[in-house]
Amino acid sequence: MCGDDPRMIRIALIPGDGVGPEVVREAERVLSACVDAGLARLSTESFPHGADHYLATGETLSERSFERLRDEFDAILLGAVGDPRVPDGRHARDILLGLRMRLDLFINFRPARLRLPELSPLRSADRRPIDFVIFRENTEGLYTGAGRVESAGEPNERAVSEAIATRPGVERIVRAAFEHARSEGLHRVTLGDKANAVPHVYGLWRRVFTEVSQDYPGIEADMQYVDALAMQLVRSPDRFQVIVTSNLLGDILSDLAAEIVGGMGLAPSANLNPGRHALYEPVHGSAPDIAGSGTANPMAAILSAALLLRNAGAAEAADRIDKAVDEALRSGIRTPDVGGESTTAQVGGWIADRVERG
């Protein structure tokens, strides 16, 4: 790489279902432009896992594929998973949640930056520099699948889902949020919880958050109940810098954050275990209803690729992609979800061209 790091970055591509292959194709095109511009050295390999593969073979994610993803690649770029032909979503759970859990990707990192004021549904957004990140705990909480159903199908049926929170699990995500704030020169970290209604789990979160904050005296430790936090995200989103929260609450808050800054088509994410493994994905779903129509927004996948490059040491390439996306939005090179008339391929091609030409 002619930029920050001369090593080869090994990327596994899982295009997945619905619009996933379409947006990953454009992200791969932009990554190739980074190579052509001398900004990165990359190798990519595609994996077939998704609904088509599952329906053809009965296999969700093979053990061999998992081992290769774990041992032979620096990062994974996932398009989307989910297909109505698999009504129980088994393949999607095994691929996405399986990789998160088995690779211990405990950080779900969701940036929310308003790139163009007119894209926000909020009034007076042009006067608000909305730019914050959410650190969502990714391996505990209600998404572990712990629980049971008793007397299934009977009048007194009872379903129990258990939220799991451990001190080590909470501490590492809270500390990661404070470390990010310190490294980026930010001065506030906000905890979102529901300790008033769920005292056991979120009482632990509050205790750990208070304890960890003592190691970061220059950073304000702000604790808010999640309902109040959600209201403040709408009323005063510019007051937030780093938000840290649990798995379920983070899932909801980060989707709200995406809408505040323009929608799911602009929302990238990273699933991280710093120094070990990483999986990057656009936040939007597989959207099978628009697959093949050429209207899917590739920007979230492209920005996820930029996050991948930044975390892999190719900051110059990531910066160029980021600027190219901003320029595309300003120039009206957009898909219909953000008020444009361009196709998926036109947006991806335009951004790739700008990246290559600098």
Structure confidence at residue 139 (pLDDT): 95
> 241 by DSSP, 3-state: which?
coil
Query: CA 324 to CA 316: how far, in whole Å?
Result: 12
Q: What residue ranges in 213-283 does DSSP mark as E strands?
A: 220-225, 242-245, 268-273, 277-282
Nearest to 126 by CA among 134, 110, 115: 115
Per annotation, catalytic residue among 74, 194, 202, 280: 194
Query: Which DSSP string corresponds to 32-67?
Result: HHHHHTTS--EEEEE---SHHHHHHHS-SS-HHHHH
- Buried (b) or exposed (e) across 2-30, using 16+ Cβ within 10 A? ebbbeeebebbbbbbbbbbbbbbbbbbbb
Query: CA 40 to CA 6: how far, in whole Å?
Result: 8
Per annotation, catalytic residue among 126, 227, 326, 353: 227
β-pair partners for 76: 12, 279
Q: Find out whether 269 and 304 touch, Cβ atoms under 8 Å.
A: yes
What letter would DSSP give residue 147?
E
Structure confidence at residue 6 (pLDDT): 56
Structure confidence at residue 167 (pLDDT): 98
CB < 8 Å & 24+ apart, contacts of 231-234: 233/257, 233/260, 234/122, 234/260
Cβ contacts of 71 within 8 Å, gap of 6 or more:
none
Per annotation, catalytic residue among 216, 255, 319, 323: 255
Query: CA 307 to CA 111: how far, in whole Å?
Result: 10
5 is known as an active-site residue = no
- Cα 69–Cα 51–Cα 94 angle in degrees, nearest 5: 50
pLDDT block averages, 10 residues each, the chain of length 358:
62 97 98 97 96 95 95 97 94 93 97 94 75 97 91 95 96 98 98 97 98 97 98 95 97 96 97 95 95 97 98 96 98 97 98 96
> 285 by DSSP, 3-state: which?
coil
The CATH superfamily of 121-148+157-260 is: Isopropylmalate Dehydrogenase (3.40.718.10)
Query: Which DSSP string corresponds to 67-94?
Result: HHHHHS-SEEEEEE---TTSTT-HHHII
227 is known as an active-site residue = yes
Identical topology for domains 1-117+262-358 and 121-148+157-260? yes
Structure confidence at residue 3 (pLDDT): 39
Cβ contacts of 57 within 8 Å, gap of 6 or more:
none
280 is known as an active-site residue = no
Q: Find out whether 106 and 172 touch, Cβ atoms under 8 Å.
A: yes
Structure confidence at residue 125 (pLDDT): 55
Per annotation, catalytic residue among 17, 74, 251, 322: 251
CATH number listed for the domain at residues 1-117+262-358: 3.40.718.10
Query: CA 351 to CA 330: how far, in whole Å?
Result: 12
Per annotation, catalytic residue among 54, 74, 94, 143: 143
Structure confidence at residue 2 (pLDDT): 37
17 is known as an active-site residue = no
Nearest to 338 by CA among 142, 25, 119: 119
Please identify which residue in the block is written with the tokens 């290559």. Answer: 356
Domain ranges of the chain: 1-117+262-358, 121-148+157-260
pTM of the model: 0.94
255 is known as an active-site residue = yes
